[in-house]
Structure 1
């Protein structure tokens, strides 16, 4: 622990605690703002990527969505920055590596990260003013939340961005499952309600409700601030005090700290049956989930012990409860709600199934309880306990940061504990508690006592049976219409005029150009001249008797190593095109080998590694849309002392067999059901994929093999195999043939670790592949396929549209590629955001240039409109061509370039940086190539943008696609779409 006397704070803060975690290079300093009570956790770290988060305890007691709509509206202008849209404006004026805001069940957080010091303080100033001093203009509330407008026929209709967002979110099967269960599991506390807002209740929220919620909840004493990186603590605290806390001391009288409340304990378990919305009734659509309410997250030892219990029960497919749920004859797959949820104040344990029938509820619940008794009443092997402890250690040591900055990952891991007055240090530094847990498991009764206390003897247990209802969406639409009819009955001439004037005022506000010079910014001069590119070492190695190469990267991996096998596929077209390749990738590390069955292999993987993953890495050639570079990649990570993981990859590649058809059925059914339930959250991705499906070889392949046609093919296969079991043997034969070909392909290796471990790891890899194998290949039939260019509407279970339009463009090396990249950002920032989101009411939309797909694409998601949005896409093209060179257009281009550079320069994790660098080189995009692309982007002008717009977009052929509700079929046919249905 550091000497507190050496820590300097701003004089307006007092020191509460410090803690050092050497393994993570963290010095944690906890302080409190003396006047207001705001708590600040500073994670001092040598990283140049500095992160910040301010969060508030938000505990709504309605379904009106006040916390969520406040999150949106607070970012629509503030006292210091009276700009209509400072959040999206700052995205354009920043080199941020992350900017967002989140509404969780019981807190709202505003995080950002950047590598530029000036940018950090710019964003900090905007975020502080937005949260503590938002304007909360009624027109912004109407735009972001909910309003009533009169349509062209004078009929009232509901509009609002969050309203449409939640319509899309709550059409998802798993969202309905989670929120329905929460209502019964939490009868009296905030978790009973949907903090995002139920669409039927959002319509009752008023602007006054919103203002009162802000006054009550956005108070410094109700807030937690976390910062990470190498900026001095005193500099951050000076900004906190001067920009917000000192200014606001006189105005912070109405709010207070909201205490987290314990749920009233049920005196006996309950069983409930509810419904969820589906488009059509089919067999096996019922969910059965059992949930237990557990203690709070504040006791770190207890929380870790329950994580151990979760691991014993469901860590991998060989764990007893997961194995029971995966193979249950009365269900298709485990529930997505499975295991320990420690994201709320009180933890929850879930166990259940999907793809069942309502009459099986008792049998499934009793079976779950029987498994728990068997686990509790029989000794757990020391090997299994060590496996779970090993997984906990891997999770703790793994440095993420590839999808979100590492510092923000750390912050968010600890934030939910801090916001409930717990000690987040216990989340970041678990070594002492892990040692305590190792001592406890020496007691043979430890797992027995945990299971009985928290599960078997816990009376706060809810069993939910969620059954399908194909009329529910229609009923909800009728209820919404009835509410609108009631509003219409109250409308007199005066009220109609008020609504019309309000709509006019909103339209004028949306059309008014902001004075964005009020906002701070960074410029092109702040962009680093050179890109960061990890360099490694390429060494010769013999793998399976063949001369090959190993790529070695030294990185700060916190005691882990990352090992991958690379099998180049460029000369093996039959593998790339094989119709069963996606199934092969799903199964290969999940089924058994010639020596052990599938569940035993899962246990072996968990014992020695993070698991084995298999994927294909492929990119379109920089020069040719019909060529691509492909690698089959088999990967794992493990503790540096666990060399056994290296042989796991050899076992998976050399010894896998595809004879366990029951296991294959389980896995493919899980894949199909999970795929379907994720559609509503990925609708725009599938629309984009559909629209650009024929514009490059890789796009055709990914659409047919991984798009919605592939989902339908999988669904049809499972249905046909139910009637004709011989199809399973046919699949086994095809996979066996494919595997026999793949395992003889030449191999390369990648190893990433700390310097002192690289040599022994390289030796272990060499020894692992010392044996020469038969490299003679069987022959594979090369499959070909064609894709049409129809405008396609996919009908799916969704309450909103996801729209896309694609134009043929060029590959990455083409001279026009940089201008197309900048063009997409200019269109999104300056036309599409306003037209599609603000005016149109969609949750989001924009444009993108896809060099992999050789396509320029427009998109919208969670969109209440269809035809009008496609018109907006086309209108943006005309708008761009009409622009004249000016300071304004120069600014647009500068903002677009800033955003592109921030994305290109976003630092990955230490291991991710090495993986990214290697595959960039393998796919023809090395450091020199990227540096040259950077220079070309910086040189783009308005003339370039207008030239590529005229060349590739204006009056050029395009393909449209949408993901839409089933009841929109007739409308979509009239618009010229070919209808496809997600079955």
Structure 2
């Protein structure tokens, strides 16, 4: 296909109103690149044409803002609230409700805004492009949208004024996170005089200063076709996409912008003007910045960050050099700079802000520690500089270089899919090149760039030292940033917020505020006719009675155990580009319930503390050199009660179990070395390095601590589910607030006693037997076959033993957290320093094996994208609200994110269930909801993801036959099914007998709790 297109479009050609600026091959990604510019509007298109059926588009704009008022961020939200062709309140959400999209998002960066979406269905892809393109170029942007998304004054029934707005509350959540605040301060320290000095998301204290006129002017200035770059990826022919762009947008844009100057000089001037905005002031001497961030009531210690402005990465080779140098210094815990910081004792653990920030005009490198006691701040900087000087004088270890190159080679070879399509990562460099006027052909990082760096290293022993001198040691553009957690930070911001409200009230009367709110509410309550939005239908995805779905590809084999038993060997044959993903799983349920809280810390430590003759630093070095990483995951199972699941559980004693899974990835050529290393970890780890283990536990505690506020919706969700079943209890014990409290306790416990427990746990799980799983290619399985028998024998592996008997109540007891008891049962509030809240509630629902669960899945999807979105985000101002079916647990879960009215939201949720019972669902409504719900079941996966999903399903006892039945049930859901499902849910919600099954949890600040009159259990979290 790509060769055919190369013959059709060549550099210098014209296609209709497009000039072909360049055509070139990108062999690493099996793509042909086409770079074109529209002659009448200046819009640029860059298409990576390949055989990938998951097509992606992204509209990108330069959107610089010289203020911290969040204007670019507000526009990003607002353009998706209706357009000329789709004059609806929220076509973005409606498309999310009814599209089979594989990705749907919009992102505001420091200097650009990007609107990407993808789908595996061609018709759906163009439907999404139609909605997105119309949104960015022809939005409505009326005053009500501005008030809804940006800011507005509200006065409650008691006469108390407040500022509300979706972006406003989103950013209040961001400013409640210490790590987020520290990252912003660190970056801004070196970028004075540029737009990067300001928070592009918006400081909540500055957002209310934005006027409606500024809002309109910003869109008019920057959302122009000559300031737009369209990135395309996938197998839809370039000419077909160009035709679509022309017919749907460009013809209209020619009329909207008839006077665009498209001369080369005008284009250069526009880029030059933009570069002036993104170019920071020159720094001739290192600078120091001292600042505060939000804190709870715990012991205070500082985060200390040393930052360098390491210059432009105008091409992929320049970017690769910086990545290689950073990797040599900080690739893993055993790398020289990282190791020096960890062993120094100056801080508790590495700062999460560490690394390269390369998505802006000039790249910034950050290195530092958190948990630094007062008086040690300068010592951190001195240690960093001294370590780098010693490296320059004494030389850099060859192994540090080799392990970095091996890591990057593995990363380049791996076929990835994270939170979206692989194309999301590929689009970053071309957008970067377009943004700053660099050529696009040399922007995409390829193996050849890594090979060039490798050759330079081999031919010039001074190559890396010279990079170290130039980019870091002789670089005066350096800052020392000290951010101190302050108990007064939130109070100061709340006081400043009151001053801002008082200032706003000087310019508006109560009646004016009321009139504006009436206008906003009238706008929000208009019922949209979504028939103008295109969508596909369920029958498009059913062939011969079978649904289109991701199917498992797993073979059950065996390897001889040391005791003559057969160790299950589960195999997924995938095209992995020569990588083997190898899992060795030990049953966790041979342990007592009281051991479970220790397992996350055990998992963090067991592969990171050294083994045999290798201390932890050398073990990390060898791991980076010979593998793609060794780690441990915990997996707890419940599984459905289908007949197929019962048969599997009856046949195999390893179905529906809890697991400690040791995971290693390796390239095929390293199989022997990697397995030997893995074997050493499993047989020779003795947890003797007390300091290392104490450091890891402290780091784990700090990671949990810093995640509670930004991820509050996850923590409250775990809390409300944890008393429902053994699995949900274990989830909370391992991943919830209970685990955070366990880690706090472990951090203050003599490490010798923890090590004793780790040794006992490790011995017990290995005695409990094992299963083996691999995802690999045919040749790799042949290589594994040569080594697995000896591997299993030397480790004395055997088939899984039966679990230890325990009661669910034993696990429930481990989730109990002491607090100030209240009058309301099953309701908890956790006090933090957050300025916004997170709420969750669960109610009874159907289990997986019950056919009613099919329509309930559609219910939750419809609720999330309709009533909940409207009531809690659009009207209430929360950043997010969602509802999920939990069919394994037989529950319906509701949660909010960055919510200004968290205590009210649970009642809103219950009201939404009631309102949905009375909703008159048309067949079209249901079709749309079904398609949106179904999209979750056809998300493409990487080879690694397919193998991991197949293993998980098998361990749960979920067969393709059961999944097929479920998906067909969803696709065949009718309007009566949906209405009956809501009535059923409401009856359960209203049933007094089910009252104990209803649970609520909230995370928020003291002020929100005191104002709410909450009468449940209150638990203070010292974060």
Give the TM bin, normalised by the shorter chain. over 0.9
State the shift of 1:248 in Å.
Answer: 0.5
Q: Following the alignment from structure 2 to structure 1, what is the Cα–Cα distance between the partners of residues 379 and 944? A: 46
1:617 aligns with 2:650: no
Range with greater deviation from structure 2 (349-358 or 529-538): 529-538
Structure 1 residues 110, 802: CA separation in 2 closer, same or farther (over 3 Å shift)?
same
Q: Following the alignment from structure 1 to structure 2, what is the Cα–Cα distance between the partners of residues 749 and 372? A: 43
Q: Following the alignment from structure 1 to structure 2, what is the Cα–Cα distance between the partners of residues 455 and 555? A: 43
User: Please, what TM-score do these two structures have when normalized by structure 2?
Assistant: 0.91
- Number of residue equivalences: 969
Q: Which residue of 1 aligns with 2:624?
A: 606
8 A contact 2:147–2:165 mirrored in 1 = yes
Q: Which residue of 2 aligns with 1:656?
A: 685
Structure 1 residues 738, 262: CA separation in 2 closer, same or farther (over 3 Å shift)?
same
State the shift of 1:235 in Å.
Answer: 0.9
Q: Which residue of 2 aligns with 1:148?
A: 153
Range with greater deviation from structure 2 (773-782 or 401-410): 773-782
Cα-to-partner distance string for 1:774-810 (whole Å, 9 max, x where unaligned): 8799999977552566311011121101011112334
Q: Which residue of 2 aligns with 1:629?
A: 657
State the shift of 1:765 in Å.
Answer: 2.9
User: Where does 1:341-490 land on structure 2 (aligned, <5 Å)?
Assistant: 341-412=357-428, 414-423=430-439, 426=442, 428-442=444-458, 443-490=460-507
Q: Which residue of 1 aligns with 2:652?
A: none
State the shift of 1:427 in Å.
Answer: 5.2
Q: Following the alignment from structure 1 to structure 2, what is the Cα–Cα distance between the partners of residues 267 and 616? A: 50
8 A contact 2:62–2:222 mirrored in 1 = yes
Q: Which residue of 1 aligns with 2:927?
A: 894
State the shift of 1:634 in Å.
Answer: 1.5
8 A contact 1:564–1:749 mirrored in 2 = yes
Q: Following the alignment from structure 1 to structure 2, what is the Cα–Cα distance between the partners of residues 299 and 855? A: 51
SS of the equivalent of 2:714 reads helix
8 A contact 1:811–1:852 mirrored in 2 = yes
Q: Following the alignment from structure 1 to structure 2, what is the Cα–Cα distance between the partners of residues 413 and 401? A: 17
Structure 1 residues 810, 517: CA separation in 2 closer, same or farther (over 3 Å shift)?
closer
Cα-to-partner distance string for 1:319-345 (whole Å, 9 max, x where unaligned): 111011122222111111212221212
State the shift of 1:594 in Å.
Answer: 2.5
Q: Following the alignment from structure 2 to structure 1, what is the Cα–Cα distance between the partners of residues 986 and 189? A: 58
Cα-to-partner distance string for 1:422-441 (whole Å, 9 max, x where unaligned): 45554545222222111211
Cα-to-partner distance string for 1:328-379 (whole Å, 9 max, x where unaligned): 2221111112122212121111111110123222211111100010112222
Structure 1 residues 937, 184: CA separation in 2 closer, same or farther (over 3 Å shift)?
same
Q: Following the alignment from structure 2 to structure 1, what is the Cα–Cα distance between the partners of residues 1003 and 415? A: 36
Q: Which residue of 1 aligns with 2:526?
A: 512
Of the candidates 731, 741, 757, which is equivalent to residue 764 of structure 2? 741
Structure 1 residues 423, 593: CA separation in 2 closer, same or farther (over 3 Å shift)?
farther
8 A contact 1:270–1:462 mirrored in 2 = yes
Structure 1 residues 124, 969: CA separation in 2 closer, same or farther (over 3 Å shift)?
closer
Q: Which residue of 1 aligns with 2:571?
A: 552
1:84 aligns with 2:89: yes
Q: Which residue of 2 aligns with 1:876?
A: 912
State the shift of 1:281 in Å.
Answer: 5.8
SS of the equivalent of 1:162 reads helix
Q: Following the alignment from structure 1 to structure 2, what is the Cα–Cα distance between the partners of residues 733 and 453? A: 48
8 A contact 1:215–1:254 mirrored in 2 = no
1:317 aligns with 2:317: no
8 A contact 1:23–1:558 mirrored in 2 = no
Structure 1 residues 241, 953: CA separation in 2 closer, same or farther (over 3 Å shift)?
same
Q: Following the alignment from structure 1 to structure 2, what is the Cα–Cα distance between the partners of residues 300 and 406? A: 18
SS of the equivalent of 1:43 reads strand
SS of the equivalent of 2:709 reads helix
State the shift of 1:413 in Å.
Answer: 5.6
State the shift of 1:896 in Å.
Answer: 2.3
Q: Following the alignment from structure 1 to structure 2, what is the Cα–Cα distance between the partners of residues 622 and 137? A: 49
SS of the equivalent of 2:57 reads strand
Q: Which residue of 1 aligns with 2:550?
A: 532
Structure 1 residues 750, 450: CA separation in 2 closer, same or farther (over 3 Å shift)?
same
Of the candidates 850, 856, 859, which is equivalent to residue 814 of structure 1? 850
Range with greater deviation from structure 2 (637-646 or 15-24): 15-24
Of the candidates 836, 839, 842, which is equivalent to residue 872 of structure 2? 836
8 A contact 1:142–1:160 mirrored in 2 = yes
Of the candidates 992, 996, 1008, which is equivalent to residue 968 of structure 1? 1008
User: Where does 1:229-308 land on structure 2 (aligned, <5 Å)?
Assistant: 229-252=234-257, 253=259, 257-258=270-271, 259-260=274-275, 261-280=278-297, 282-283=299-300, 285-308=301-324
Cα-to-partner distance string for 1:918-956 (whole Å, 9 max, x where unaligned): 321221112111001112223431353134314432344
8 A contact 1:917–1:926 mirrored in 2 = no
Cα-to-partner distance string for 1:362-402 (whole Å, 9 max, x where unaligned): 21111110001011222223332121111111111111114
Q: Following the alignment from structure 2 to structure 1, what is the Cα–Cα distance between the partners of residues 466 and 797? A: 53
Q: Which runs of 5+ in 1 are unaligned?
A: 722-726
Q: Following the alignment from structure 1 to structure 2, what is the Cα–Cα distance between the partners of residues 675 and 784? A: 21
Q: Following the alignment from structure 2 to structure 1, what is the Cα–Cα distance between the partners of residues 192 and 784? A: 54
Range with greater deviation from structure 2 (664-673 or 938-947): 938-947
8 A contact 1:294–1:454 mirrored in 2 = yes
Q: Which residue of 1 aligns with 2:596?
A: 578
1:701 aligns with 2:701: no
Cα-to-partner distance string for 1:599-646 (whole Å, 9 max, x where unaligned): 111111000111101112233220299994323222122222221223
State the shift of 1:414 in Å.
Answer: 4.5
User: Please, what TM-score do these two structures have when normalized by structure 1?
Assistant: 0.94
Q: Following the alignment from structure 1 to structure 2, what is the Cα–Cα distance between the partners of residues 417 and 618? A: 45
Q: Which residue of 2 aligns with 1:109?
A: 114
SS of the equivalent of 2:163 reads strand
